[in-house]
Amino acid sequence: MGFRMGIVGLPNVGKSTLFNALTRTAAAQAANFPFCTIEPNVGEVAVPDPRLDRLAAIAGSKQIIPTRITFVDIAGLVKGASKGEGLGNQFLANIREVDAIAHVLRCFEDGDVTHVEGRVDPLADAEVIETELMIADMESIERRLAGLQRKLKGGDKEAVTQERLLKTALAALESGQPARSVAVAEEDAKAWKMLQLLTAKPVLYVCNVAEDEAASGNDRTASVAGMALAQGAGHVVISARIEEEISQLDPEEAQMFLSEMGLDEAGLDRLIRAGYDLLGLQTYFTVGPKEARAWTIRKGTLAPQAAGEIHGDFEKGFIRAETIAYDDYVSGNGEAGAREAGKLRVEGKTYEVKDGDVLHFLFNT
């Protein structure tokens, strides 16, 4: 399924630097990644997963196809965006289309880079953006409640549900809390998602630090971590400058550079992993001599729905899934070895796919 993450931030926090690094990474992957497409404000990047390379090596796969994440550079956010300031209306439209928000916060000092508010305070920056989104949501809810009146008078059940959920969200917003703070019942989850409230989007705070603080962070990143914990949000520490530099290096040079900076992996890798955790995503694999491929699904997905990620016919005609856990596939040196060791399982329609499963689906056409 992949997912779309919108990158937001006030001017001069490093958002554009980070996005430019991401799009250069996407461009560098283009030769080996046929699904990579780049537009002026969209970069699609392969999700790094060493397990996929290992599986491909064992199976002798001719092609490796990773799953992918789409980053959307959402421009135009300034104070007053909810009122149409800057590119406010465009900003609000773009943000409704993403699965999660990566909110870039400036956590570095640099006298040459002026902050739009004249100070470096990531918590205050987060509040500015959150406030704009909350105002936009409240105005949207009030318009929609007014528009529901005719349907409500006619006893429309869907309108009744919408009104209840909109009023619940409005109450939270009026008390100063984003819509994502609302505990939504399972039976309301689909209708809640259809409301497309901006502040219902999961948030990942991206602390942009100076190069020499990328490994350890600083007092500002610690304060952001506390805020994220209190909100149930995610956070990651990244130096956009480092990401920009390594995006122009080959893999071996990039790894040497990261080691010199005291880092085990690129910030992009940590950003993607944090995004997966935030959205409750996981990966399963299909492996053969033709290709080894990764597929993204939500945790808790049942086998027929996982098969549907490959093709709708796989889900409709699902019979069973031949399943090997990643570790068992590796220790058996492939499917044959895993089968001989009794590690290949046959799972039915109620099987909940696990992260790292190697699957082969059988279905009726």
Main-chain dihedrals φ then ψ at residue 85, nearest 5 degrees: -65, 150
Confirm or deny that 17 is annotated as ligand binding.
yes
Q: Is residue 290 part of a domain?
A: no
Same domain as 338, residue 216: no
Among the candidates 278, 312, 329, a domain finishes at 278
Answer yes or no: do 161 and 114 share one domain: yes
| 252 and 334, same domain (yes or no) | no
Q: Are residues 146 and 202 in the same domain?
A: yes
Residue 285: strand pairing partners: 294, 358
45 labelled as ligand-binding? no
> Which segments in the chain show pLDDT lower than 50?
28, 30-40, 82, 85-88
Question: 187 and 314: one domain?
Answer: no
Q: Are residue 204 and residue 329 in the same domain, yes or no?
A: no
Whether 324 and 357 have beta carbons less than 8 Å apart is answered as yes
Residue 15 known to bind ligand: yes
What does the H/E/C string look like for 31-85?
CCCCCCCEECCEEEEECCCHHHHHHHHHHCCCEEECCEEEEEECCCCCCCHHHCC
Residue 313 contacts residue 365 (beta carbons within 8 Å)? yes
Distance separating the N- and C-terminal Cα atoms of the chain: 23
Residue 291 located in a structural domain: no
Residues with Cβ within 8 Å of 319's Cβ and at least 6 positions away in sequence, in order, are 362, 363, 364
Asked, for residue 12, whether it belongs to a domain, the answer is: yes
Q: Are residues 260 and 314 in the same domain?
A: no
What pLDDT, on the 0 to 100 scale, is given for residue 83?
57
Residue 284 covered by a domain: no
Nearest to 23 by CA among 84, 70, 79, 68: 70
Annotated binding-site residue? 13:
yes
Residues in the chain: 365
Instruction: Write the CATH number for 45.
Output: 3.40.50.300
Structure confidence at residue 126 (pLDDT): 92
Contact 75, 42 (CB under 8 A): no
Neighbour-count burial of 306, counting CB atoms closer than 10 A to its CB (0-12 exposed, 13-18 middle, 19+ buried): buried
Q: Choose among 300, 310, 297, 299: nearest CA to 360.
A: 310
Here the tokens at position 293 are 């491929």
Tell me which residue of 191, 143, 197, 204 sits closest to 18, measured CA to CA.
204
Q: Are 164 and 141 in contact (CB under 8 A)?
A: no
DSSP calls for 188-204 = GHHHHHHT--GGGS-EE
**Within a domain: 293:** no
Q: Residue 311 belongs to what domain range? A: 300-363
Q: Of 99, 133, 111, 112, which Cα lies nearest the Cα of 9?
A: 133
Query: Does residue 54 belong to any structural domain of this protein?
Result: yes
Is 258 inside a domain boundary? yes
State the pLDDT at residue 65: 94
Please tell me whether the overall predicted TM-score, pTM, comes out greater than 0.85 for this model.
no
In a shared domain, residues 224 and 304:
no
> Tokens 């992009």 identify what position?
268
Which pLDDT belongs to residue 30?
Answer: 44
Residues 98 and 31 in one domain: yes
For residue 317, give Cα distances in angstroms to 225, 300, 347. Answer: 46, 20, 15
State whether 269 and 323 are in the same domain. no
Other C-beta atoms closer than 10 Å to the C-beta of 47 total 21
Distance CA 286, CA 306 (A): 11
Are residues 30 and 76 both part of a single domain?
yes
Give me the number of domains the chain comprises: 2
Burial code (b: 16+ CB inside 10 Å, e: under 16) for 140-160 equals: bbeeeeeebeeeeeeeeeebe
Task: Establish if 287 belongs to a structural domain.
Answer: no
What are the DSSP E strand ranges found in 166-230? 203-208
CATH of the domain at 342: 3.10.20.30
Same structural domain, 271 and 311: no
